[in-house]
């Protein structure tokens, strides 16, 4: 197969969220510098502590899997609002089969049932052709109802509860040898900036779940499939212009069947992660709207695997901070304010007045928050991913590049 046709062209690349790897690196470096500064000033050491980075990863993975699931479906041209329901399928099957036959079987069962739930969405939207949003919402409802119904039947008999499964054996974790102690050593030396960074890395390398590593591999894999493989080209073609794709002999229906089934499997694996790694039980309401945040990461990441990953890490980070101290959240806001102030300065220097005003406003708001608000309300941290997505949509909607026909009904042979 030819790989040239599958690579994104330059114009498409230029539209991407962050323009070049170099700029991203610089940005990250600035953020780090500011964070370490703020930590030194405020004494809120939680932001870049090893615990936070580990927790961020644990919170990010379910969002990442839901986001990748949304990405697969939307790239093929079908919006998957049923991600939340498919995650519920994952939590429940992982816990039940994990309880019966061990966690590995639970994981496998979650993948299979997730695939089936995705296939269900595919049959409804592609074959029968009903509204994609209605189908997704109905799947959410049915999955939630079915999980509660089945919990009520199965769990009380085996030592669980109507809403909680019996505990499931956890999956193995490991600490990366050599590297982890190395970074731990630097972290403990308390050198400005360097210690912060290595503390973060140390947190990522200790008590790492095998599943975490495995699921993270789906990011490069998705990337490779989308941009380098024949199937990925077909998938994107089906999402951009199904009629033209069909006229070139691509089986749009089959492509979408596969893509949406994979979408269900990924979301379900995200749910399984919640039940098997992040905790060791199924609990009612465990997914807590993560499917919808996954949907948000797709937008946030501009329909790209790397972007979805970045979005889920950001949202996972806010989640991780939420369960920690609130003064570290305040420090984070201070850091964000400083970054926004610097950005504003940059825009003023390059004479871009509108973005300068926006980032300046954000900086002033952060300053005001630091001066006036002593305790950031929990509620806003919870809704942060949603708010961030709305803001991105508001200010960057023109620069986002969603698949052209995502969400549109398509019937073979009709316009």
Interface with other proteins by CB under 8 A: which residues? 79, 81, 124, 128-131, 133-135, 137-142, 144-146, 148-149, 151-153, 162, 289, 292, 295-296, 299, 377, 379-380, 382-383, 386-387, 389-390, 393-394, 397-398, 407
What Rg do the C-alpha atoms of the chain give, in angstroms? 22
Closer Cβ to other proteins, 4 or 398, answer by number: 398
Q: How far is the CB of 131 from other proteins (least distance, A)?
A: 6
Query: What torsion do the CA atoms of 260, 261, 265, 266 make, to the nearest 10 degrees?
Result: -30
Angle (nearest 5°) at CA 45 between 199 and 278 = 65
Cβ-based neighbours of 76, under 8 Å, separated by 6 or more? 235, 238, 239, 255, 256, 259, 260, 403
Which of these, 258, 218, 229, lies nearest to 76 by C-alpha position?
Answer: 258
| CA distances from residue 231 to 1, 76, 250 in whole angstroms, order as listed | 11, 10, 10
Nearest approach, Cβ of 315 to other proteins (angstroms)? 12
Largest CA distance in the chain: 68
d(CA 258, CA 235): 9
CB of 297 to other proteins, least distance (A): 12
Q: Which residue has the tokens 């994990």?
A: 98
- Residue 114 CB, shortest distance to other proteins, in Å, is 18
- Token duo for residue 409: 């009904």
Shortest distance (Å) from residue 70 CB to other proteins: 11
Neighbours of 79 (CB within 10 A): 23
Instruction: In angstroms, give the least distance from the CB of 399 to other proteins.
Output: 11
Nearer to other proteins, 244 or 393 (CB): 393
Q: Residue 103 or 114: which CB sits closer to other proteins?
A: 114
Compute the distance between CA of residue 261 and CA of residue 69 in angstroms, rounded to an integer: 9
Handedness of CA 124, 311, 184, 337 (dihedral sign): negative
Nearest approach in angstroms of CB 397 to other proteins is 5
Nearest to 270, CA basis, from 109, 67, 52: 67
Q: Decide whether 155 or 347 has the Cβ nearer to other proteins.
A: 155
163 versus 279: smaller Cβ distance to other proteins: 163
Nearer to other proteins, 170 or 386 (CB): 386
Q: Are 71 and 80 in contact (CB under 8 A)?
A: no
| Closest to other proteins by CB, 139 or 274 | 139
């Amino acid at each position: 197969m030819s790989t040239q046709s599958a690579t994104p062209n330059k114009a498409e690349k230029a539209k991407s969220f962050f323009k070049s790897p170099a700029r991203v690196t610089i940005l990250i470096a600035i953020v780090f510098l500011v964070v370490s500064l703020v930590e030194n000033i405020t004494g809120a050491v939680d932001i870049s502590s090893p615990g936070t980075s580990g927790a961020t990863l644990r919170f990010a993975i379910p969002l990442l899997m839901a986001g990748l699931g949304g990405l697969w479906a939307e790239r093929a041209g079908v919006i998957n609002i049923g991600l939340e329901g498919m995650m519920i399928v994952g939590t429940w099957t992982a816990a039940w089969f994990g309880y019966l036959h061990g966690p590995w079987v639970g994981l496998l069962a979650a993948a299979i049932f997730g695939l089936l739930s995705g296939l269900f969405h595919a049959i409804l939207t592609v074959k029968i052709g009903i509204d994609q949003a209605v189908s997704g919402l109905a799947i959410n409802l049915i999955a939630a109802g079915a999980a509660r119904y089945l919990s009520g039947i199965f769990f009380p008999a085996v030592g669980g509860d109507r809403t909680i499964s019996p505990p499931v054996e956890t999956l193995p974790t490991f600490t990366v040898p050599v590297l982890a102690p190395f970074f731990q050593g630097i972290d403990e030396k308390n050198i400005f900036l360097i210690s912060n960074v290595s503390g973060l890395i140390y947190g990522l390398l200790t008590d790492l779940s095998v599943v975490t590593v495995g699921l993270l591999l789906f990011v490069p894999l998705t990337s490779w499939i989308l941009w380098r493989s024949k199937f990925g080209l077909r998938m994107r073609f089906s999402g951009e212009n199904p009629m033209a794709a069909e006229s070139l002999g691509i089986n749009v229906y089959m492509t979408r069947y596969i893509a949406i089934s994979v979408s269900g499997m990924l979301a379900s694996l995200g749910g399984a992660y919640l039940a098997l790694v992040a905790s060791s039980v199924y609990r009612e309401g465990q997914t807590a709207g993560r499917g919808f945040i996954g949907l948000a990461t797709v937008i946030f990441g501009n329909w790209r695997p790397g972007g979805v990953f970045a979005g889920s890490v950001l949202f996972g980070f806010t989640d991780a901070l939420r369960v920690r101290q609130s003064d570290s959240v305040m420090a984070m806001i201070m850091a964000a304010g400083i970054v926004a102030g610097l950005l504003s300065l940059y825009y003023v220097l390059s004479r871009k007045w509108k973005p300068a005003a926006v980032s300046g406003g954000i900086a002033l708001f952060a300053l005001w928050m630091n001066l006036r608000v002593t305790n950031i309300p929990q509620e806003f941290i919870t809704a942060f991913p949603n708010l961030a997505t709305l803001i991105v949509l508001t200010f960057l909607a023109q620069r986002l590049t969603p698949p052209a026909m995502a969400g549109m009904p398509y019937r073979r042979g009709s316009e």
